[in-house]
Amino acid sequence: MEPPVIKRIEDQTEESPAPVCVLIVGMAGSGKTTLMKQLQESTMHDDDDDEEENMPAYCINLDPACLDVPYSPSIDIRDTVDYKQVMSQHHLGPNGAIMTSLNLYATKFDQVINILEQRADENKLSEFLLVDTPGQIEAFTWSASGAILSESLASTFPTVMVFVVDTVRCASSPNTFMSNMLYACSMYYRTRLPLVICFNKTDVVSHEFCMEWMKDFEAFQDALDNARNEGSNNGGESGFYDSLTRSLSLVLDEFYTEFSKNAVGVSAVTGDGIDDFWKVIKNAANTDFSEYIEDLKHRIEEQDAKRKAMARVQARKLQRDVDNDNSPY
Ligand SMILES: Nc1nc2c(ncn2[C@@H]2O[C@H](COP(=O)(O)OP(=O)(O)OP(=O)(O)O)[C@@H](O)[C@H]2O)c(=O)[nH]1
């Protein structure tokens, strides 16, 4: 049987597009949460009419460990799972507790999808659905539950992944830039979702140098040479480290060619570049998504199997907790 969820993506037309899900990922401290706030605010007002308020972007928080959420989430993992309780009752460190919280949430995520489906059917969902993810990026992207959450969303709505980069940290180290690009590339490799690279914090330093490094191999090599000469990069480490970084930038050539088109600079604090951000998102959602539909159908089947397996494991764990009277719900 054809999964009805894919139907929403396939049946969308220019006159009646499906809401676009924007999955925000990135290294800790890159500015994901601040960007969520800026993006939600930007959807509330038309450029030409500051008075009238539009329906704000629908926000979902999937970070169980964050203390304060500066935007208004309509759905928040913290309402369902108590991260601190998970940590103390399962004797886990911060990363383990995030993973377990995501596991618990993944077993219930079909309920979240049902709510979103219902709202979309009633035209009560805004044009964009913004999803904030944990700073411990690997907890989300490399766990089975993270895959379930992102694939459930991606099989329900056209989904674009935004990889947020701390431009300031890249400016002081070409190797940090390279680490970010490798991570973004591996996330694309894993999720196969349309990818937007968002260079954040442009109020501190312009992202132009990052764009140049993506487009011009020589410019990146020069930056590496300069960093090595200044001794600020890797302290004049072995030639191997240096030549590896150079080779990697050649390996990424194809990635750069494709994704420099979808790269944008913003300041999540001042709102600079946010209009361009939305243009790039719309472009990614319109032009890239058709390629993913066939692939998605296979992944939905895989995801179903994963969800069932995970539900069995969590059910056993919870049963033990209930028996010991310490359920984190
Ligand atoms: N100057 C400047 N600072 C920013 C910008 N965006 C975020 N920050 C700062 O960067 C720090 C981290 O921002 P967050 O939004 O918490 O980053 P995050 O990626 O959600 O962090 P985690 O949840 O730990 O992964 C905060 O001190 C922000 O004020 C920006 O555009 N410009």
What are 31-77's pLDDT values in tens digits? 999 999 999 999 987 655 555 667 889 999 999 998 889 999 999 99
Among candidates 157, 90, 165, 168, which has minimal Cα distance to 292? Answer: 157
Q: For ligand 1, is residue 201 a contact (CB within 6 Å)? A: yes
Q: For ligand 1, is residue 293 a contact (CB within 6 Å)? A: no
Q: For ligand 1, is residue 61 a contact (CB within 6 Å)? A: no
Could you tell me if residue 327 is inside a domain? no
The per-residue pLDDT for 252 is: 92
Separation of 271 CA from ligand 1 center, angstroms? 13
Q: Is the four-CA dihedral 314, 315, 316, 320 of positive or negative sign?
A: positive
Look-up of token digits 């999803």: 131
Could you tell me if residue 318 is inside a domain? yes
Could you tell me if residue 329 is inside a domain? no
Q: For ligand 1, is residue 269 a contact (CB within 6 Å)? A: yes
Query: Mutate which of 34, 42, 266 to test ligand 1's pocket (most atoms within 8 Å of Cβ)?
Result: 34
Beta bridge partners of 292: none
Beta bridge partners of 28: none
Could you tell me if residue 84 is inside a domain? yes
Q: How far apart, in Å, are the Cα atoms of 115 and each of 4, 73, 120, 227, 261?
A: 15, 14, 9, 51, 34
Name the closest-CA residue to atom 9, ligand 1. 31
Separation of 241 CA from ligand 1 center, angstroms? 30
Q: For ligand 1, is residue 244 a contact (CB within 6 Å)? A: no
Sites in the chain below the pLDDT cut of 70: 1-11, 13-16, 46-53, 231-238, 287-293, 299-300, 303, 325-329
Which range marks the domain in which residue 119 is found? 4-43+54-322
Could you tell me if residue 160 is inside a domain? yes
Name the closest-CA residue to atom 32, ligand 1. 201
Q: Which atom of ligand 1 is nearest to the CA of 270?
A: 31
Contact by Cβ (8 Å): 246, 275:
no
Exposed e or buried b per residue across 51-73, where buried means at least 16 C-beta atoms within 10 angstroms of its C-beta: eeeeebbbbbbbbbbbeebebeb
Could you tell me if residue 157 is inside a domain? yes
Q: For ligand 1, is residue 29 a contact (CB within 6 Å)? A: yes
The per-residue pLDDT for 51 is: 59
Look-up of token digits 């050539």: 253
Name the closest-CA residue to atom 11, ligand 1. 29
Could you tell me if residue 328 is inside a domain? no
Name the closest-CA residue to atom 17, ligand 1. 31
Question: How many domains, in total, are found in the chain?
Answer: 1
| Cα–Cα dist 66/178, whole Å | 27
Q: For ligand 1, is residue 32 a contact (CB within 6 Å)? A: yes
Whole-model pTM: value is: 0.85
The per-residue pLDDT for 249 is: 87
What count of other Cβ atoms lies within 10 Å of the Cβ of residue 231?
9
Farthest-apart Cα atoms in the chain, separation: 63
Residues sharing a CB contact under 8 Å with residue 198, sequence separation 6 or more, in sequence order:
26, 35, 162, 163, 164, 165, 263, 264, 265, 266, 277
Separation of 104 CA from ligand 1 center, angstroms? 27
| Cα–Cα dist 245/224, whole Å | 9
Residue 63, domain CATH: 3.40.50.300
Q: For ligand 1, is residue 34 a contact (CB within 6 Å)? A: yes
Separation of 28 CA from ligand 1 center, angstroms? 8
| Cα–Cα dist 252/289, whole Å | 22
Separation of 277 CA from ligand 1 center, angstroms? 17
- Distant-in-sequence contacts of 226-235, Cβ < 8 A, 24+ apart: 227/173, 227/174, 227/175, 232/172, 232/173, 233/173, 233/174, 233/175, 234/175
Q: For ligand 1, is residue 265 a contact (CB within 6 Å)? A: no
Q: For ligand 1, is residue 203 a contact (CB within 6 Å)? A: yes
